[in-house]
Structure formats: structure tokens, C-alpha cells
Structure 1
Amino acid sequence: MAAEHQVAPESGERGELLNIGQVLDLLREDFPGLISIPKIRLLEQDGLIAPHRTASGYRKFSHRDVERIRYVLRMQRDHYLPKKVIAEHLDAIDRGLEPPEPGPVVPTVPTVALSSDGIPSPDSFRRTDNLRLSRKELVKIAEVSDELLRELEDARLIAAVRGYYDTDALVIAQTAKELAAFGIEPRHLRGMKAAADREVGLVQQIVAPQLRTNDPAARARAAETAAEVAALSVRLHATLVKAGLKQP
């Protein structure tokens, strides 16, 4: 079992028992905002830890208890595991077994289909997925700040749909973060959004006649046409930028 997932075995050093305040001090630095005295009490209530009690009723924690709390917090923070699953892991550890490796933190993000030169192909425009990310998940996966995400939303580059963000929002956030390293802020990208909207309008104008019919085959052809035209439009746009940069 990887060191990240290990819980220290029972040491038997009962003279090193800690009070709840000392446990809080040990864990606060690694889990800021996640650990508190009520949280520790809740873990005991849920049966995930079982601290000793003095004759007067005070909780006393062994170093093994501290490691169990650390494990619970890590699994909740890094892998979003529910308490029921964490309890199963701890039971396996108690019985000398190794818990299973945690699965992905979030649904696997589909890879955008790109042609060999890095320009999106028609397949990338046909791609559909059901990925829905919460705001917290988007910030975590894209590794962007809440402030940058708000600026992208203010610039209308990203928008949540019914409270969730899709794959495109993730790619936009990641790309905007990389551009920010060069001093390009979301407000500077409004022109790109306007240009993209014009390209979308052009594609929609081309397929509009096919979409006005009730013929399913015609509507399917409209989707194919939209993907082809969109890919060609992006290729032309990228090539024009490339050619413009070559000019003295």
C-alpha cells in the first residue's frame, strides 16, 4: 500500500495520549479549514475513530487515532470519498488488509480530438459528453483561482449551465490561465469571443435551411455540415494568425 494511504498500526504507547486540542494543532497546518474540534467529534460519532475516555469523560487520542483522522481527511479532500467507503477502508486496514486505490477524483475529462497540426478536426466539433463539473471541481482541475474564473465569467467566456460547467469551460479556463502567464487577462479576450460568435453565426446561417425541415436525415446532415464548416473556419482563422505573424 502506498505511503499516502497508510494508517499507522497500534503502537501501544498509551503514555503518549493527546487531548483534542493537541490533535487539532497537529492537523491544522495540513488541513486548513477542514479540521476543527466539532469535526473530530463528528468522526467519533460516525465510528471512524474511537478515542479513549478518562474517568471524567475527556477524550484522549493515540497517535494511531491521529493517523486515522489524517487518512479520513485526505480521502475526503483529495478523493471525495464518502464516509461509508472510508469506513470500509479503515476496517480493511484494521484487519491487516490493504484498501483499494481510490478512483479518479472526478469523471475523466474527454480528450478533445485534434488533427496532427494541433488544429481541431471535425470530430472535435462532433464530440459530445455529459461531463458536469461543480465550481469547486473546475477550479481544482483547471488549477485556476476563483478570481480568474469570475473574470472569465464577467467577460462571458465561461458560463455555468444549471450550476455546472462542461468540458469546454474546463479547456477555456486552462487556456486562459496559460495566457495569463503572458499578461493576457480575460478582459483582453473579449475580442476573441466576439470573433468566435461571428464564426458561430456563419455556421448557423449555412445549416439553417436543413434545420428548418422535419426530416431527421436532413437534420443529421446539418450536424455533419456544422462540424465540417466549423473545423474549416477554425483552420482558416489559425492559418491567418500564423501568416500574420510571419509578416515583417
Structure 2
Amino acid sequence: MRAGAAAPKPQGPGTNLLSIGQVLARLSPEFPDLSPSKLRFLEERQLVTPSRTESGYRKFSPADLERLRLVLTMQRDYYLPLKVIRSYVDDLDAGREPVLPGGLQVSAAPSMLPGGRKLTREELVRESGATPMLLNDAVSASLIVAGDTFAEESLVILKSLVELQRSGIEPRHLRGFRAAAERELGLIESALIPTARRSDASSRAKALDLAREIAAQLELVRSSLIRSALSRL
């Protein structure tokens, strides 16, 4: 067994184990970019530890499948680097109640994580508690992209705008946020150039993870600067 590898899991007669192909069949409808190389990459990062047959084939348990669904959902919906996700799931395994960067809390159950659903304008306004005018102002300030439907992230933003409005902060005060986000994206893209030149699936997965890692570090810098400024008030 290679160094750092997880010990093989018991495979009793009643254990319902899945091959890589079966895992892909179960998860690909939710995560179209999932591939065998990405599964191996997640295993290398110790985010999932499938058992092995005597011939060396990977076999995934139902718990492995749910762990993969959790990790992939957190990547897709929270844009988190694998380092942060690994720390999160380690805390879950230790019986703690971890908190994501920014104070966001999620349930350990994958079904409780925000999904990739689309909301109509009426659903977005109703679920956020916003007024139609606030949504219009958010679109005008380029905080939310206009469309017939809206991504789950728009709901997060609009809920925050509802709270900010109670403190007298309107979307028009935040017009510079979109430009700042685009500048950060430019920094991330520049850092990814060496990795992005390679087109294989493993390199793409590593590039995406690096992008999330850089974004998380930029968020930490921004939060620290704000906290430092607040301490002078």
C-alpha cells in the first residue's frame, strides 16, 4: 500500500459497492464535467477513499458516493478550493459543526446544500424578501445579471442586499463591486496561465482548484483589510 493511502474498507457480502463507471452514471447528470481522472484527483487529495479489490480496482460505497456529491456540490455552488473543502469534511468527520469562509453554514447532508436550480423573477423576489424595485436596482448596479431565470447565487446576493438596505446601503452604493470582481478575475486568470495551457482533464481540475484557492485567499485579504479598518472606528 502506498504511503498515505487509506486502509481498504471492509467489503461484506451485503455491501453495495460501485465501480468508477457506476459512480459516473449516478453523478454525471448532476455534475456533467465529472470524469474518471477527476475522481482519481479527488482521491489523491484524500477527499474520498474508495476501497480496492484484490485486482486493484476502485470500489465506492454509498457513503463514498454521498461524500463525492457533497464535495462536488461545494465546489460548484460555493466555488471553494479543495483545501477548504477538505478541512470542512474533516471537521464533519470529527463530529464538529464547521463554518465555511464568510460565516456560511451548511448542513452535512448533501441534499441540504444549495443546488443548481434556476429561479424565476417572482421566486427570487419572494424567497429573498426583496421588493421588485430592489431587484431592478441590483440589476442596474450590475450586482445581478438580468435574465428570464436567475441562478442560486442571485438569491444569496439579493438576501444580502435586503439586509444592507435596512442599514441605508443601496445597490447604487455598490456599483464598484462588479468592477472589483472583474479585476480579481483577471488576477486569477493570469496566475492560471501555466496550468491552463494543458488541456487534459487532470490539469483542468487542478486549474479550477487553484482558481478557487486564489479566490479564497483574496477573500481573506479583503476581509482582513475591512476588519483592520473597522478597528479604527
TM-score by length of 2: 0.51
Which one-letter code corresponds to 1:190 in the other structure?
R
List alignment gaps of at least 5 residues for structure 2: 1-75, 81-87, 89-97, 107-112
Q: SS where residue 130 of structure 1 aligns?
A: coil
State the partner residue of 2:204.
Answer: 219
**CA–CA separation in structure 1 for the residues paired with 2:77 and 2:153:** 11
Contact 2:77 2:114 in 1 (8 A): no
Give the alignment of 1:4-23 within 5 angstroms. none
Contact 1:120 1:234 in 2 (8 A): no
**CA–CA separation in structure 1 for the residues paired with 2:77 and 2:199:** 33
**1:119 is the counterpart of 2:105:** no
Give the alignment of 1:141-220 within 5 angstroms. 141-161=127-147, 163-220=148-205
**Residue identity (%):** 33
Structure 1 runs of 4+ aligned residues shifted over 4 Å read 110-115
State the number of aligned residues.
Answer: 134
What's the CA shift for 1:236? 0.9
Kindly report the root-mean-square deviation, in angstroms, between the aligned alpha carbons of the 2 structures.
2.8
**CA–CA separation in structure 2 for the residues paired with 1:151 and 1:246:** 31
**CA–CA separation in structure 2 for the residues paired with 1:210 and 1:117:** 27
CA shift in 2, pair 1:222/1:131, >3 Å: same
Contact 2:196 2:203 in 1 (8 A): yes
Contact 1:120 1:231 in 2 (8 A): no
CA shift in 2, pair 1:221/1:132, >3 Å: same
**CA–CA separation in structure 2 for the residues paired with 1:120 and 1:232:** 15
**1:232 is the counterpart of 2:217:** yes
**Higher RCO, Cα 8 Å, sep 6+:** 2
Contact 2:77 2:115 in 1 (8 A): no
Q: Which moved more, 1:127-136 or 1:190-199?
A: 127-136
CA shift in 2, pair 1:168/1:117, >3 Å: closer
CA shift in 2, pair 1:128/1:198, >3 Å: farther
Q: Show CA shifts across 1:197-228 (max 9, x none).
A: 21122112211332232221111100110111
**CA–CA separation in structure 2 for the residues paired with 1:216 and 1:227:** 17
Q: SS where residue 175 of structure 2 aligns?
A: helix
Which one-letter code corresponds to 2:193 in the other structure?
A
Which structure has the larger Rg over C-alpha atoms? 1
Q: SS where residue 180 of structure 1 aligns?
A: helix
Q: Show CA shifts across 1:49-94 (max 9, x none).
A: xxxxxxxxxxxxxxxxxxxxxxxxxxxxxxxxxxxxxxxxxxxxxx
What's the CA shift for 1:119? 2.3
Contact 2:188 2:215 in 1 (8 A): yes
